[in-house]
Amino acid sequence: MLAEVMIARMISSLFLLMAASCQTSYDDGVKAPLSEATQMQSRGEFLAEALCSGCHAIADGEVSPNPEAPTFVEISDRDGLTRETLGDFLHDSYNFPGQMNLEVSDEDADAIAAYILTLRSADD
């Protein structure tokens, strides 16, 4: 059952990534490409689904599959958190094998961090 849920999540994330790579249209019918930041956030969401969702709740309103893993919303609301500090942590996360055994490129770490920060509460 868990494998089926993870496969369904990965497929839905793939569709999100594909949709994010498309152009958006304005009311006047003029097409404009997604901003670089939006593309990075979409890529980060896809990577988070593929790499992180086995332990963490990666979307608002979800519960982490691993009770010891904070949700991405909880992470995003931490004091002093920036894309740079979060990206650095994610890049070095392979140093924490008891918690996470994940090795990502700087670019992927930055994309995941960009996505996590989109979950920040409005009052922060």
The 3-state DSSP class for residue 29 equals coil
Q: How far apart are CA 1 and CA 107, in angstroms?
A: 32
Of 122, 108, 123, 101, the closest CA to residue 45 belongs to 108
pLDDT above 90 as % of the chain: 42
Residue type, 27: D
Average pLDDT of the residues in 71-93: 89
pLDDT given for residue 99 in this prediction:
67
Higher pLDDT, 2 or 25: 2
- Percent with pLDDT over 70 in the chain: 64
* Arithmetic mean of pLDDT over the chain: 78
Mean pLDDT, rounded, for 91-110: 76
Q: How many CA atoms lie within 13 A of 23 on its CB side?
A: 7
DSSP β-bridge partners for residue 32: 24
- Whether 114 shows a pLDDT value over 90: the answer reads yes
Q: Kindly list the structural domains of the chain, giving each domain's residue range(s) and its CATH number in brackets, ordered by start.
A: 2-117 (1.10.760)
Q: Pick the closest to residue 55 from 66, 45, 44 (CA basis).
A: 66
